[in-house]
Amino acid sequence: MWLADSNLLEDEEDFQMENEKSAGNKYTVKDAAIIGIFCAIMFVVFMAYSILTGASLFYSMIFNAAGAALILAPFYAYMCMKVGKHGPALVYNIMWAVVAGLMMGPFMIPWFLGGGIIAELSMCGKDAYHDIKRVSVSWVITALVRAAHGMSEIWFFKKAFLATGVSEQQIQVQTKYYTDPKYVLLSLAVTAVLAILGCMISNKLLVKHFRKSGVIK
């Protein structure tokens, strides 16, 4: 009798743990709100940053994405680790796919969507969204997708890009920078380095201000 009661108690505990695990993996309204709010914040910060640095054509062509990778890293890392579930990397890139589709043309949607899928796949596995190293990998991928989007307009989507009515001068500038290996490598390398640096700084901030207080796990 005692053995039967003990087994029943263990079964009930296992069932409760499974329910808690299942509930923990489900999205809540709060999770969706966090992603929505932080995506909006990152969009506004990026646009303000781009306006402030837009006077320099060279910077815009080569280092815009790199600077954004550094500045936006804390917002991205907090969003990912606060939610702690699969999806933020994909949703963030979907947002940019929509923005790119509206501002640049529908041909850019697959570029950002594909980047988002790759970034999300890099987060496969248990507790990846609580691991700053894994979050950093997804952020580097996301940053490189942004850095290379102007290159993709020349490399892969030139016909569709021309069809948007872009000026010949813009085509010449992008072709000048994005067909020169040294500029391409410089842009991508600096972007990757600053994305990693941004995540390292983010981790220190998160540990100091949020992890110790229990705001994030």
Confidence band for 215, pLDDT divided at 50, 70 and 90: low
Contact 53, 60 (CB under 8 A): yes
Confidence band for 22, pLDDT divided at 50, 70 and 90: very low
Burial (CB count within 10 angstroms: exposed 0-12, middle 13-18, buried 19+), residue 86 = middle
Residue 21 maps to a domain? no
Contact 73, 139 (CB under 8 A): yes
pLDDT at 83 over 50: yes
In 3D space, the residue among 153, 69, 67 whose CA is nearest the CA of residue 111 turns out to be 153
Residue 165 maps to a domain? yes
Residue 12 maps to a domain? no
Amino acid in position 191 = T
pLDDT at 133 over 60: yes
Residue 182 maps to a domain? yes
pLDDT at 76 over 70: yes
Q: Which two tokens stand for residue 113?
A: 């969507």
pLDDT at 115 over 50: yes
pLDDT at 91 over 80: yes
Q: Is the dihedral of CA 201, 73, 213, 126 positive or negative?
A: negative
Full residue range of the structural domain in which residue 203 is found: 30-211
Residue 5 maps to a domain? no
Rounded (5°) CA angle 23-27-29? 115
Give the pLDDT mean for 191-206: 95
| E strand intervals along 27-160 | none
Domain count of the fold of the chain: 1
Residue 59 maps to a domain? yes
pLDDT score at 41: 98
Give the pLDDT mean for 71-99: 96
Position of tokens 């963030």?
Answer: 92
Name the percent of the chain lying above pLDDT 70: 85
pLDDT at 8 over 60: no
Residue 48 maps to a domain? yes
pLDDT score at 126: 87
> CA 135 to CA 186: how far, in whole Å?
23
Residue 159 maps to a domain? yes
Three-state DSSP class for 115? Answer: helix
Instruction: Give the pTM.
Output: 0.86
Rg (CA), the chain: 21
Confidence band for 101, pLDDT divided at 50, 70 and 90: very high
> CA 144 to CA 161: how far, in whole Å?
20
